[in-house]
Structure 1
Amino acid sequence: MYEKVPTKKIFDIRISDPFPGPTEDWLTIQNDRRNTLASICQKNNLIKLKSKLDSHVASQIFVEHKHKFTYCEVPKVGCSNWKRTIFILQEGLNVEASEIEHDHIHQTSLIKRLSAYPPAVREEFLNNYTKVMFTRHPLERLVSAYRDKLLHFEPYYSTTVANQIKAMFRKNKNSSEKVSFQEFVSFVTAKPPNTLDIHWKPMFLLCDPCNIHYDILGKYETLGLDSVQVLKAIGAPESLQYPSLKRYGSEKRTDSDITLEYLRQLSSEQIEKIKKLYQMDFLLFNYTLKDENNFP
């Protein structure tokens, strides 16, 4: 059904930033990230003259008042541990990150979304609080979402979403075989980007960085140092560290090698479609995907 890409290693997934060193280097890289983003926003007419905060974007942003901290949640970019961190900041370090279960942190009403506040108050927080957003290589994030949501038992994704995919792409829609990565990609690329599930929706649509001027643009690829600098910037207690908890502890984290394994399963047409879907994420956040045909 799918014309497979040759199995030799033709893809090169990378970020364009060097790994930062001292704080001065980190600040320089932050400045570069903001400048790149601002330039691409302008070139692609993504800046709204009268910017009204989209309700979907407001629902992605979490607010922590003690440290005047707002964080835009991008799923598959360490968001569970950032939400644990927000919870701990609110509770005054009276709880350990390891005590906060994955499902609980995503269901609790104790950490507030920006959408819970009236529009005028939302603007006040965005103007006066430290605003943070983290990104990840778009295709590594896509593979991570597939592995997490379609290969494990999750009542909604492994049943409802999986059944939708099977109905679209299989003659026998009652097949018990797990959804393949090829089927998943065909499903994702068949829908308008704005309607996609937040776990694979383009990052720029989740957080609107062209109209919300984030003070810190972190990356999953530099999470260690970026998280330290975020906590320092908001005045968090020195004893608090960003946790490195993982939901499926026995599994290897999705990295560039695992991502390449999955990309090799796709047809050249599918590769083009996911490149198009995540084009703005690649440009705005300075990620690349290159192969022997010199993908931009």
Structure 2
Amino acid sequence: MLPPVVKKLVEMKILRLRFRSLSILCVLGTLTLVLVYLPPSYRPSQLLLSGPDSPVVKSLQDQEIEENNEYLISGENEFEDKKQVPAARVSKDEAEPDNARQNEPPHALVAESIPANKTLIQTGQAAGEEDHPLSDANEHDSYVQDYPDYTPANFIEVMKDKPSQKDKDKQSVKKKKPARLKNSFAFERLGSPIYSPEALRLRALSFPSNSTLRLFVAEQERRTQHMKTECAGFLPPASDIESKGMAPPPGLAGVHNLLLDRTNNIAYCPIYKAASTSWTVTLLEIGGFWKKDHHKKNVNLQTFVRQVYPKISNFAGPALTRSMTRFMVVRHPFERLLSCYRDKFEQAKKAFYYTRYGDKMVRNYRKFPAHITSSQLGMLQEQVRAKVAAGVPVHLPGNPFAEPLGPMFSEFVQYVLHAKHDDEHWRTYFEHCSPCHMSYQFVLRFEDINREGKEFIEYLNRTSQVEMRWENPTQGGSTNDVICSYYSELSKKTIQELVKKYEKDFTLFEYKPDKYLECARDFGRTPLELDYKVA
């Protein structure tokens, strides 16, 4: 028996030997894998034979040359003499000594084999080989790109036409801002101090206190003060905004399309269906850009305005308009909503708005027969949509999307109440113009626009240059009887939901919804009378 100490040393010695043997085996295995999976040209056996006289290198060169020649002479049609090109190549090799070519790399030998076949591409058509794959430059553009010397003899290079100076002038004219009229007052007095906001206010205050202009200014000050008082209840305290990091401020993120006349220091927030077209043209006239015959020339007003005035949105509005005369035109929210429906959606008058919103209003809120499946509804919807988009008359008896054509007023209102995003034609004034952040000095009312419009132009000192106009009026007008006939399609509950949606607009601009509630189909009727009416 060995002592315990000796026995322990022996065991440790055995473990060391085993570890060394395993390490050696791992190294040997790794080398074996490397040698096996290395490419042939990097194996030690061939690296030793890679000199200029190596038979391995010569065999690889010959193999590449043969493969290249076979590829160049291959085609759908056979040549009369397939041996012609290789024979010429062999005779050339025999004429040169081997020691003069043995130092050239293999790719040089391959490159020399290509010019020998150049005649195949140039003379293929003359030899009756029209279908040869290399004779058609259109089908083998890669050969022309890779080897530009082998362009077919009948190839004609067509250069791209360079734009003429006339075309360049046309393009530059389209990008240029329209020029002001040289015979206009604005061109003669650009940036005149008499039209600055301070000068205009001082001029108005110089009139007698009982004058029409002073009364107009006093009424505008009362309206703006009322808005300022009511806005305090709509906006969170400044401390909450700073502590909670509320951004953007409520009512400011929705500001869109503010028109800025930097020369005359006027800022206008156009509200669609509230004389926006008329006042946009007036603003262009004040700036000296609008001619009276532009309407006859079918000038696109929106495109023209974008070329003249920048449209500012969101956070830039209050900062850029601080030293400007800011104004907006408002209208009773329910009357504006009805005007939007009659002008854009009734009887699918505007194809753009029908395909964007109208057919969805009908699909979501119209009652269809129970026997029509969902897939059938989709086909019927697309049938009407295609005809409206094409601008052709829609005569489809039995199609519920065409009877009546376009959404009814009740369907339109339901869509407005439940849509996730408001279109600019029915978006609230609070969101569209942000009156609680912009601090408008003038808020004109659509209902009295003829008188207030003239007074505002007098305040701007432009009476002699600007003519009052009325653009794009709704056909048929909007009398009380007409308005009530549409709102009678709605229930009192639906009208109350509309009042809640436009609550801030009613409060800020001092409108009331009472007469519209009286038009509701169930206004003043008891539940018993309603049940009887339905029965």
Question: TM-score range, shorter-chain basis?
Answer: 0.7 to 0.9
Aligned to 1:4: none
- Among 175, 178, 189, the alignment partner of 2:406 is 178
1:40-79 equivalences under 5 Å are 40-45=230-235, 54=252, 56-57=254-255, 59-79=256-276
Partner SS, residue 224 of structure 1: helix
Which stretch has the larger CA shift, 42-51 or 275-284? 42-51
Distance 1:207 1:289, change over 3 A: same
If the length of structure 1 is used for normalisation, what is the TM-score?
0.79
Q: Number of paired residues?
A: 267
1:140 maps to a residue whose letter is: E
Compare relative contact order (CA 8 Å, sep 6+) and give the higher one, 1 or 2. 1
Q: Does 1:286 align with 2:510?
A: yes
Q: Distance in 2 between matches of 1:258 and 1:111?
A: 38
Partner SS, residue 74 of structure 1: coil
Kept after mapping to 2: 8 A contact 1:62/1:114: yes
Q: Does 1:137 align with 2:355?
A: no
Which stretch has the larger CA shift, 90-99 or 165-174? 90-99
- Among 122, 125, 137, the alignment partner of 2:320 is 125
1:42 maps to a residue whose letter is: A
- Among 483, 486, 502, the alignment partner of 1:259 is 483
Q: Distance in 2 between matches of 1:117 and 1:275?
A: 26
- In structure 2, list runs of 5 or more residues that go unmatched: 1-210, 243-247, 369-376, 382-400, 525-535
Partner SS, residue 214 of structure 1: coil
Aligned to 1:149: 344
1:28 maps to a residue whose letter is: A
The C-alpha deviation readout for 1:37-61, integer Å capped at 9, x for no partner, is: 112111222676688694641x321
Q: Distance in 1 between matches of 2:470 and 2:225?
A: 30
Q: Distance in 1 between matches of 2:480 and 2:297?
A: 29
Distance 1:123 1:30, change over 3 A: closer
Q: Distance in 2 between matches of 1:255 and 1:99?
A: 30
Kept after mapping to 1: 8 A contact 2:253/2:431: no
Larger strand percent: 1
Aligned to 2:219: 29
Aligned to 1:268: 492
Aligned to 1:9: none
Q: Distance in 2 between matches of 1:31 and 1:180?
A: 41
Kept after mapping to 1: 8 A contact 2:335/2:483: yes
Which stretch has the larger CA shift, 60-69 or 268-277? 60-69
Q: Distance in 2 between matches of 1:100 and 1:54?
A: 37
- In structure 1, list runs of 5 or more residues that go unmatched: 1-20
The C-alpha deviation readout for 1:242-269, integer Å capped at 9, x for no partner, is: 2113356xx2222443222211110122
Larger helix percent: 2
Kept after mapping to 2: 8 A contact 1:138/1:281: yes
Distance 1:183 1:164, change over 3 A: same
Aligned to 2:147: none
Q: Does 1:245 align with 2:471?
A: yes
The C-alpha deviation readout for 1:174-208, integer Å capped at 9, x for no partner, is: 2122210000000000124xx20010111111000
1:107-126 equivalences under 5 Å are 107-108=303-304, 109-115=306-312, 119=316, 122-126=317-321
Aligned to 1:159: 355
Q: Does 1:199 align with 2:425?
A: yes
Distance 1:96 1:230, change over 3 A: farther
**Among the aligned pairs, what percent are the same residue?**
20
Q: Distance in 1 between matches of 2:237 and 2:280?
A: 28
Q: Which has the larger radius of gyration?
A: 2
If the length of structure 2 is used for normalisation, what is the TM-score?
0.46
Aligned to 1:8: none
Give the superposed CA RMSD. Answer: 3.0
Q: Distance in 2 between matches of 1:91 and 1:117?
A: 27
Q: Distance in 1 between matches of 2:489 and 2:313?
A: 42
